[in-house]
Structures are given as C-alpha cells and as structure tokens.
Amino acid sequence: MRARALGHLARREHSRLELARKLAAHASEPDALETLLDGLVQEGLLSDQRFVESLVRRRGARYGVRRLEQELAEHRLGGEFSAEPLAELRRAEPDLAWQAWERRFGRPPADLAERARQHRFLMARGFGAEAVASVFRRIRLGQAGQAADHPDAPPAE
C-alpha cells in the first residue's frame, strides 16, 4: 500500500483526504491506512499546504477564486492552508478572467444574448462578479484600453 501511495504522490500532490479515498480499497484495515498517512506526513511526503499551493497553481489560470474555494472545500481544506495562495489569486482575478474570456471568445458580444452567455461562462468558471464586470468594462473601453481598467495601472495623464 505504501508503494501505491508513493506512486500517487509521485504523479502530483494529493490532499490527505484524497489519498485516503484512493487507498481505502487497498487497505487491510482502517488503522493501517491512518498509520501510513501519518507516516507520510511526518516524512514530509504528504502535505495539505503543498496540495493547496499546487491546486492554485494548476487551476488558478483557468478558474476563479470561488471555483477553487469549492474544490478545496471538497477536500476539507481551507482557512489556514488556503488563505495566502487564494489572496494572491484574488488580486490577479480580473486579469485571469480577461485571459479566460480572450481564450474562449476573443471578440465583444454582438448582442445582449451573447453578452449573457459570455457572462455565464465566466461565472461558471468561478470568477467573482467584480472580475466579470472588469472584463466587460475592458471590452467597453476597447482592448487597447485594457490597462486603464487594471487596479494596479498608473493613473491616466
């Protein structure tokens, strides 16, 4: 069972809960599984903090903070593990929403129905209302004016 656990961890980071689910069918008894997981944590091979950072890195470019918070809740992780990585993602969310919109659509909506479809797409990806509004402000300003909408942009002269 240890070799199977190491194989999973070699491919990517796992949360403790996720790894326990994957190994449960192969455990002779629940206590053996908990002992194995505790040993992996002590050896530094299994870390919920690294899992959170990995998830935010892998999925943060395509999905918004709300979606990642939901995924972390499914792994029963949050609070102390996710505060800092999600705060960084929250600051970048308007730009990430813009990039997701550009990859999927790339041109302004032709009518209100298309705008609603684009809006639903971004919301379904977990981007917050402010990030989605930022995308449509950038569209309204024109793609050349996209830097003017960025919160870190210098004031226009």
Q: Kindly state whether residue 92 falls inside one of the protein's structural domains.
A: no
Give the predicted TM-score (pTM) of the model: 0.74
Q: Kindly state whether residue 153 falls inside one of the protein's structural domains.
A: no
CA distance 103 to 95: 12
Q: Kindly state whether residue 50 falls inside one of the protein's structural domains.
A: no
| Whether pLDDT at 152 is above 50 | no
pLDDT score for 150: 52
Model confidence pLDDT, tens digit, residues 2-23:
899 899 999 999 988 999 999 8
How confident is residue 147, by pLDDT bands cut at 50, 70 and 90? Answer: very low
The CATH number assigned to the domain holding 38 equals 1.10.10
For the chain, strand residue ranges (E) read: none
| Whether pLDDT at 156 is above 90 | no
Pair of tokens at residue 30: 């629940």
| Whether pLDDT at 39 is above 80 | yes
Q: Kindly state whether residue 39 falls inside one of the protein's structural domains.
A: yes
Domain ranges, residue 28? 1-45
Q: Determine how many CB atoms are found less than 10 A away from the CB of residue 29.
A: 8
CA distance 84 to 72: 14
Identify the three-state secondary structure at position 35.
Answer: helix
pLDDT score for 30: 75
Q: Kindly state whether residue 70 falls inside one of the protein's structural domains.
A: no
Q: Kindly state whether residue 105 falls inside one of the protein's structural domains.
A: no
Model confidence pLDDT, tens digit, residues 110-132:
999 999 999 999 999 999 999 99
Q: Kindly state whether residue 28 falls inside one of the protein's structural domains.
A: yes
Identify the three-state secondary structure at position 78.
Answer: coil
CA distance 150 to 152: 6
| Whether pLDDT at 151 is above 60 | no
Q: Kindly state whether residue 21 falls inside one of the protein's structural domains.
A: yes
Model confidence pLDDT, tens digit, residues 61-70:
889 999 999 9
How confident is residue 143, by pLDDT bands cut at 50, 70 and 90? Answer: low
Number of domains, the chain: 1
Query: Taking a C-beta distance cutoff of 8 angstroms, is the pair 77, 15 a contact?
Result: yes
